[in-house]
């Protein structure tokens, strides 16, 4: 395997991990609001969250460019306050991957939150647990299987994200050239087919590994909860 292949693989894993972990707290909050909240604009929020799932990824990438680019309003604000720059950086690739995986993650967590037995939460409150206590001691642990499913889905989606990423942060080797972008580049290069196939196999292996890992974890957790 060529050094640049390894760079792309390592970058992909970094981008997908950061994207997944950074979006997790937001996904839990949004899922909670959608599962339990009663507020004006809930349908709108639901629609907004799901938009990246149905819009062409190029459109998502373009919107990110407008909003989070060097001259975008959010991009400028974040750079001014926290020194966080997205445009043409790996952080931008992570943002694009996070946005694309967000609906999948929210959906899985929301479903598992809705499945949590409210009577157990009632019982916890009669035992003196406050709202936060009930959430962290009862609701969240019971929703862990869904949380895990959401994490794996979002991670797999992030590994494969291509359209929004290349539109938002381009295809810079070592910075934003993730696995899919590297494969795409190789297929556009004369004689790059063999190299492309190697990366395709790596990509399949990574996705499979993520799925298997989540399956094993889920089983262990189910065993802990049920047994």
Chain residues binding other proteins by CB under 8 A are 119-120, 122-130, 133, 137-138, 141-142, 144, 224-227
Which DSSP string corresponds to 25-42? HHHHHHHHHHHH---TTH
Residue closer to other proteins, measured from CB, 51 or 129: 129
The residues, any chain, with a CB within 8 Å of residue 103's CB and separated by 6 or more, are 49, 50, 51, 52, 53
Min CB(108)–other proteins separation in Å: 18
| C-alpha pair distances (Å), 136 with each of 126, 132, 142, 147 | 16, 6, 10, 13
Min CB(149)–other proteins separation in Å: 17
Please give the Cα distance from 81 to 73 (Å, whole number). 12
Min CB(132)–other proteins separation in Å: 11
Residue closer to other proteins, measured from CB, 194 or 226: 226
User: Strand ranges (DSSP E) for the chain?
Assistant: none
Min CB(219)–other proteins separation in Å: 15
Residue closer to other proteins, measured from CB, 71 or 119: 119
Residue closer to other proteins, measured from CB, 70 or 131: 131
Q: What angle do CA 49, 170, 211 make, to 5 degrees?
A: 55
Contact 113, 31 (CB under 8 A): yes
| C-alpha pair distances (Å), 27 with each of 23, 30, 104, 209 | 6, 5, 9, 23
Min CB(113)–other proteins separation in Å: 15
Min CB(38)–other proteins separation in Å: 16
Residue closer to other proteins, measured from CB, 22 or 137: 137
Residue closer to other proteins, measured from CB, 116 or 186: 116
């Amino acid at each position: 395997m060529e050094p640049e292949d390894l760079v792309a693989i390592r970058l992909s894993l970094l981008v997908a991990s950061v994207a997944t972990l950074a979006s997790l707290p937001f996904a839990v909050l949004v899922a909670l609001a959608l599962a339990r909240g009663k507020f004006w604009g809930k349908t709108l929020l639901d629609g907004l969250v799901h938009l990246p799932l149905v819009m062409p990824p190029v459109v998502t990438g373009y919107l990110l460019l407008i909003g989070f680019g060097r001259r975008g309003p959010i991009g400028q604000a974040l750079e001014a306050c926290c020194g966080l720059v997205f445009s043409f950086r790996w952080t931008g690739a992570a943002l694009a991957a996070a946005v694309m995986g967000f609906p999948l993650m929210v959906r899985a967590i929301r479903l598992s939150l809705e499945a949590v037995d409210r009577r157990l939460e009632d019982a916890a409150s009669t035992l003196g647990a406050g709202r936060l206590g009930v959430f962290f001691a009862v609701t969240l642990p019971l929703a862990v299987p869904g949380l895990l499913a959401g994490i794996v889905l979002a991670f797999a989606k992030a590994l494969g994200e291509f359209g929004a990423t290349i539109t938002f942060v381009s295809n810079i080797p070592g910075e934003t050239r993730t696995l899919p972008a590297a494969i795409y580049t190789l297929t556009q290069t004369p004689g790059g087919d063999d190299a492309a196939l190697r990366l395709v196999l790596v990509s399949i292996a990574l996705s499979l590994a993520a799925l298997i890992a989540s399956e094993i974890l889920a089983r262990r957790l189910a065993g802990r909860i049920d047994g």
